[in-house]
């Protein structure tokens, strides 16, 4: 009796090993490295909200393969991002990576190239991120896409003298340079460019200096997660009452913080690729489902995660489940679809995102603050890459 039980148990064990062996071959592993804690936790929270929603809606099987997400927290430290990506490639043998903010994306790029593993950039807004590796594809945005458009809009709509307040790292430098170029070419003047540290910023002294320069407009780039504090200090320092207009790429009226900013922010005009108020059926469904799953309003960062998963799923469908890096990359290039933000595409030449940029004004709708879109620039490419051609 005992020996029969032992034999049965041994057989069962052998069967389960065989099954897990088969399973391993049929599993596509995606290594997700994001800022889940640390300085830019707000970014990680939104991007993961998009990733999780996509999986909830589309399941965990694609082209007959099981999709396994391996999520790692890089604590917003690029050296950690690099180590985690290395471990994911060597130990977990991931087929695909996804990356977050700019310094993390830069740190991971050489590893993606070496391992020939496609890496989907879900957050970084710095132009050169896609040039760091031929295996990188971006589903987020670039700061240049938005900053040139708001520069021209401001010059045409009464802004003459601008002070720039910029978070002091790569995407901020790009926002400043593209804005400055567009605004000065259209006849505007930059009085001063003030650079604020990324870590634990106190905007008050910079806002005082900005006010002292007596501009009619403040152009601001700060990353997601810092908009609430920035706008509070802008209003506390009385810049709105002094009649100084606030403009920028969409980060400063981030949908995550916007509901709690207070009515002082009403009327602020920004250029951005996403508003939770974007009037499409796809977006209404997205906002509702996102809130239900994640308990917060989706912001512009969340789309990089949601659409990043779309690129991965659709590429796997096209390759019939073949996870070879070059095959997946070929499938991703030129992909076009309707995102909750509007129509988007992956540029087949640059692997960068092409998307609409909307000019929006903060207004109250149904008792809540929203970025209400009033002008659309269609199929905008990253201007920094376009200028290099
Ligand atoms: C970036 O990592 O480039 C980044 C992050 C958050 C933003 C904008 C840019 O709001």
- For the segment 99-126, the average pLDDT, to the nearest whole number, is 98
pLDDT for the residue numbered 389: 78
pLDDT in tens, 232-269: 999 999 999 999 999 999 999 999 999 999 999 999 99
| Residue whose CA lies nearest to ligand 1 atom number 10 | 223
What spacing in Å lies between the alpha carbon of 281 and ligand 1's midpoint? 27
**Rounded mean pLDDT, 276-281:** 98
What's the pTM?
Answer: 0.93
Instruction: Name the residue with the closest Cα to ligand 1, atom 2.
Output: 101
Buried residues in 3-28 as b, exposed as e (16+ CB within 10 A):
eeeeeeeeeeeeeeeeeeeeeeeeeb
Q: Is 198 near ligand 1, meaning CB less than 6 Å away? A: no
171 lines ligand 1 (CB under 6 A): yes
Residue 138: enclosing H or E segment and its boundaries?
strand 136-138
Atom of ligand 1 nearest to the CA of 300: 10
CA atoms within 13 A on the CB side of 88: 31
Q: What CA–CA distance (Å, rounded) separates 265 from 29?
A: 43
188-206 tens-digit pLDDT: 999 999 999 999 999 999 9
pLDDT digits (tens, 9 = 90+) for 302-358: 999 999 999 999 999 999 999 999 999 999 999 999 999 999 999 999 999 999 999
> What pLDDT does residue 24 have?
45
So what's the pLDDT on residue 23?
45
pLDDT at 127 over 70: yes
Q: What is the pLDDT of residue 25?
A: 62
């Amino acid at each position: 009796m005992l020996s029969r039980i032992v034999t049965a148990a041994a057989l069962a064990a052998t069967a389960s090993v065989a099954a897990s062996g088969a399973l391993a071959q049929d599993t596509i592993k995606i290594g997700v490295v994001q800022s889940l804690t640390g300085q830019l936790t707000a970014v990680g929270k939104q991007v993961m909200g998009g990733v999780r929603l996509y999986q909830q809606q589309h399941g965990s099987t694609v082209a007959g393969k099981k999709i396994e997400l391996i999520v790692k927290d890089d604590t917003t430290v690029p050296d950690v991002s690099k180590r985690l990506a290395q471990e994911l490639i060597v130990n977990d043998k991931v087929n695909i990576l996804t990356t977050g903010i700019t310094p993390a994306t830069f740190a991971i790029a050489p590893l993606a190239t070496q391992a020939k593993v496609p890496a989907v950039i879900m957050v970084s807004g710095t132009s050169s991120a896609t040039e760091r590796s031929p295996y990188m594809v971006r589903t987020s945005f670039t700061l240049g896409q938005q900053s040139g458009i708001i520069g021209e809009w401001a010059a045409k709509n009464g802004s003459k003298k601008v002070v720039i307040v910029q978070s002091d790292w790569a995407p901020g430098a790009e926002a400043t340079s593209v804005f400055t170029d567009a605004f000065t070419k259209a006849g505007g003047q930059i009085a001063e460019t003030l650079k604020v540290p990324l870590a634990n910023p106190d905007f008050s002294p910079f806002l005082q200096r900005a006010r002292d320069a007596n501009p009619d407009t403040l152009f601001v780039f700060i990353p997601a997660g810092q908009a609430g504090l920035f706008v509070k200090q802008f209003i506390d320092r009385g810049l709105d009452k002094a009649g100084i207009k606030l403009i920028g790429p969409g980060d400063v009226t981030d949908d995550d913080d916007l509901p709690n900013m207070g009515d002082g922010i009403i009327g602020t005009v920004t250029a951005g690729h996403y508003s939770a108020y974007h009037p499409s059926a796809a977006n209404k469904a997205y906002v509702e489902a996102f809130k239900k799953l994640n308990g917060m309003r989706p912001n512009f960062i969340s789309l990089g995660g949601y659409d990043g998963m779309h690129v991965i799923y659709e590429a796997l469908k096209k390759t019939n489940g073949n996870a070879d890096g070059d095959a997946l990359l070929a499938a991703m290039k030129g992909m076009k679809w309707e995102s909750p933000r509007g129509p988007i595409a992956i540029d087949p030449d640059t692997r960068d995102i092409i998307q609409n940029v909307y000019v929006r004004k903060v207004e109250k709708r149904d008792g809540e603050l929203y970025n209400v879109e009033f002008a659309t620039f269609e199929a905008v490419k990253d201007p920094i890459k376009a200028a290099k051609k």
